[in-house]
Structures are given as structure tokens and as C-alpha cells.
Amino acid sequence: MLFDRLRGLRRKLADERGVPAYIIFSDVSLREMARNYPTNAGEFRRIAGVGEQKLKDFAEPFLSEITDYLATNSRRTFSENIDLRFPQRRPRLNDSQTETLRRFQRGESVDEIARGRGFVRSTIYSHLLAAIECGKLPQSRERFFTSAQEKEIEAAFRQVPDGRVVDVSPLLGGKYDIGLLRIFRQLAAQPHGKE
């Protein structure tokens, strides 16, 4: 129930800003909020996907929604809750992902890496997406898209409220690899510049 309320709040905030909902928070972040019930800024900051800017922009409305929920509902416990006493580790790249990242940083294109490593392009995109998620490939948009492509893809994402790539792809006539669209979504969800 709380997750649904948080999704509704996310939709309202996204509509007010004219951005896709996933830009505000991913479902992963909302699920973590619905499981851990953060009620102050310190607890909210520990939620995956909450950086300094999102803390400033969104802590108040989301904490207020959680507090309102707890006023009439009891906390539930979830057996798979992560113990917050132990900091979560960022995911690490495996050897194959690291090799793809090394080649990409050396200037090879996705097609060159795929040919050189004997993989399909979607595998290379998945490796690079993992690198972005680990923070090892920050803000590298210009390596993936021209500004015209970025505008076209962004316009398609705006038409899909939950940011599902399988719904965005047909709007673009299938001309972009699904892996590339996932990379766009991940880069778009990251704050610009350093936090």
C-alpha cells in the first residue's frame, strides 16, 4: 500500500516538473522506502538512489507521505530487509565487464568492442550499463548519443510514464538497441555533475 502511495507521489512530482517518473526515483528506490520507512533526512539519505540533490528536492514530500502512512498503518517487517548497520557495497564489475569498460575508455566503439570480443552489441551495452551503475562510467552521454539522438530518445521516454524500455523502443521505430535505451535511462536518472 505504501509503495502505491509513493508511486502516486512520484507521478505527481514528475508531472509538475514535466519529466518521466523514473527521473524522480526508480521503483527500486520506492520499494526500499516502502520497506524501511525512513522518517528523517539521515534515514532517507541511505535509500538507494538518494544523493544530495534528491535529498534536497524530495526528502520533504516523501518523508511526509511515509509519516502520514504510519499514522494510520503499522510498520511491517520484511524478512529480506537489509541490515542498515552494515553499509551496502556497490556492485562490482566482473572480469568480462571490466575488459569491455577498459576498451571503451580506450576509445573503441561499441561495434568495435563487440567484434573484437566476439559478442553481440547488446552484451556490450549490458557491460557498459553495469559500469555506469557502479559509477565507473559517469556522464559519458556524448560517447553514446548525438544531441539530436538524445532529444529524440528523451521525447519518447516522456511519452512512457514508467520509463519501460520495451514501451519506448516502438515509439522510436525500433531504431535504437534496447541496451542503448537502458543506458540512456540510467544516465538520465543520474544527477548532472558531482554531488
Under the banding of pLDDT at 50, 70 and 90, the label for residue 90 is low
Identify the pLDDT of residue 191: 57
CA max distance for the chain: 59
More confident residue, 148 or 85: 148
Check pLDDT > 80 for residue 138.
Answer: no
* Tens-place pLDDT, residues 176-195: 988 899 899 888 876 554 33
Check pLDDT > 80 for residue 171.
Answer: yes
More confident residue, 172 or 163: 172
Q: What percent of the chain has pLDDT over 70?
A: 88
pTM for the complete prediction?
0.54
Which alpha helices (DSSP H) does 37-120 contain, by range? 41-45, 52-72, 95-105, 110-117
* Torsion angle of C-alpha atoms 45, 46, 49, 54, degrees rounded to 10: 0
Check pLDDT > 70 for residue 84.
Answer: no
* Tens-place pLDDT, residues 1-38: 889 999 999 999 999 988 888 889 888 889 899 988 99
Check pLDDT > 90 for residue 52.
Answer: no
Q: Which domains does the chain have, with CATH numbers?
A: 2-72 (1.10.150.80), 95-189 (no CATH)
More confident residue, 92 or 107: 107
Q: Which residues of 88-116 are buried (b: 16+ CB within 10 A; e: fewer)?
A: eeeeebeeebeebbebbeeebebeebbee
Identify the pLDDT of residue 81: 47
Identify the pLDDT of residue 75: 80
DSSP 84: T
Return the H-helix or E-strand segment holding 74.
none
- Contacts of 15-18 with CB under 8 Å at 24 or more apart are 18/158
Identify the pLDDT of residue 45: 87
More confident residue, 91 or 68: 68
Check pLDDT > 80 for residue 163.
Answer: no
